[in-house]
Amino acid sequence: MRPVKPYGDTLNDGVVQLSFTLPVAAGPQAREAAGMLAGAMGLEDVHVAAMERLGPGFSFFVVYGKCRHAVDMDAVAVVRPSVRPMTREETDEFIRTRLGRPVRVVGACIESDAHTVGIDAIMNMKGFHGHKGLESYRGMATVNLGAQVSCEQVAATARDFGADALLISQVVTQKDVHVRNLTRLADLLEAEGLRERLVLVVGGPRITHQLAKELGYDAGFGPGTVAGQVAAYLVQELARRWEEQTAKKQTGGEETCDGAGHDQGPDE
């Protein structure tokens, strides 16, 4: 049963529920238009289940119909950050033995975005849903700047704190404002010579790892991510970078430095 369709009343019957708003006054004509629109989208056996007046010249609809299409689950591939799962205790031990010093992390929700729920769930001691945030890790030193933080302030804090990593949350996504904000920060960090020394991570409801990479970030985490996943990624990526830089030095390459751009190894 690898090709699958939506499930409503019986398995693979293709039944879906669709809701949308039309800029037309509620009435028989609007209801008929909603049904025609759902049919044009490819739904069959369309039924307009609900129509509500939103205001002068606007109506909200709930429509049911059958989807004709199926998806082959064997062809579905998900691009994710490469990370080995670790408990909080394992992460702290990894920091102690592999990095030899605290990992410095700055978190923020940038520019006009005023929502702290995402960054707080990852950074704060209490965390979310039983998953304690990065503040609870013995091996991490953290600064949570909160919401509506300018890109300039994020960059300045990362520089002054000697950050190894930046965690950026973007919740508001209307008109792709999150893409513009994230692009601006990445460009600013590059211009100020901070980008290469940082592990740059972004999370949010419309974030994927693929989008993050396209915008110049190292990793992207979407809905459902918990602090332990981010922590494991950060420490493993920092260790990978340090070991790569150490190997270059041993073969006569560049001078080694740790993930924050320091000139010493993990036992500093």
d(CA 135, CA 245): 28
Residues 6+ apart with CB under 8 A from 66: 13, 14, 15, 16, 43, 44, 45
- How many other C-beta atoms lie within 10 A of the C-beta of residue 12? 13
Are 103 and 262 in contact by the 8 Å Cβ rule? The answer is: no
- Residue whose structure tokens are 């945030």: 133
Mark whether 126 is an active-site residue: yes
d(CA 8, CA 17): 9
Burial of residue 193, with CB atoms counted within 10 A of its CB: 0-12 exposed, 13-18 middle, 19 or more buried: exposed
Of 126, 175, 213, 249, catalytic: 126
- Residue whose structure tokens are 């070991």: 243
First to last CA, the chain: 55
Q: Hey, which residues are catalytic here?
A: 126
